[in-house]
Structure 1
Amino acid sequence: MSITVTPHLNFQGQARAALAFYHAVFGGQLALVTYADMGNVQDPVDAEHIIWGQVAAADGFRIMACDLASGTPWQPGENACFVSLRGKDAKELARRWESLAVGAAVLRDLSPAPWTPLYGMLKDRFGITWVVDVEPAPRGA
Structure 2
Amino acid sequence: MTANVNPYLNFRGSAREALTFYGSVFGGEPRISSFKDFGMPVGEGEEDLVMHGQVDLDGEPLLMGSDVPSHMGYTAGENTFSVSLSGDDEGTLTGWWTALSAGADVQQPLEKAPWGDSFGMLKDRFGVSWLVNISGGAAS
TM-score, normalised relative to structure 1: 0.88
Take 1:130 and 1:86, find their aligned partners in 2: how far apart are those partners?
A: 11
Count of matched residue positions in the alignment of Structure 1 and Structure 2: 136
Take 1:64 and 1:85, find their aligned partners in 2: how far apart are those partners?
A: 11
The DSSP-based 3-state class of the residue aligned with 2:117 is: strand
Identity %: 39
Residue 80 of structure 1, CA deviation: 0.3
Tell me the residue number matched to 1:113: 113
Take 1:107 and 1:71, find their aligned partners in 2: how far apart are those partners?
A: 14
Tell me the residue number matched to 2:73: 73
Q: Deviations over 1:83-125 (max 9, x none)?
A: 0011211222111111110010111101010224311011000
Residue 59 of structure 1, CA deviation: 7.8
The DSSP-based 3-state class of the residue aligned with 1:115 is: coil
Q: Which moved more, 1:46-55 or 1:63-72?
A: 63-72
2:131 is the alignment partner of 1:131: yes
The DSSP-based 3-state class of the residue aligned with 1:24 is: helix
Take 1:2 and 1:41, find their aligned partners in 2: how far apart are those partners?
A: 31
Tell me the residue number matched to 1:84: 84
Tell me the residue number matched to 1:99: 99
Residue 42 of structure 1, CA deviation: 2.6
Take 1:3 and 1:81, find their aligned partners in 2: how far apart are those partners?
A: 19
Residue 47 of structure 1, CA deviation: 0.7
Q: Which moved more, 1:114-123 or 1:99-108?
A: 114-123
Against the structure 1 CA distance between its residues 73 and 117, is the aligned structure 2 distance closer, same or farther, given a 3 Å change threshold? closer
RMSD over aligned CA atoms reads 1.7
C-alpha contact (below 8 Å) 2:6/2:61 kept by paired residues? no
Q: Which runs of 5+ in 1 are unaligned?
A: 137-141
Q: Which runs of 5+ in 2 are unaligned?
A: none
Tell me the residue number matched to 1:12: 12
4+ long deviations beyond 3 Å: none
TM-score, normalised relative to structure 2: 0.89
Take 2:73 and 2:123, find their aligned partners in 1: how far apart are those partners?
A: 16
C-alpha contact (below 8 Å) 2:3/2:92 kept by paired residues? no
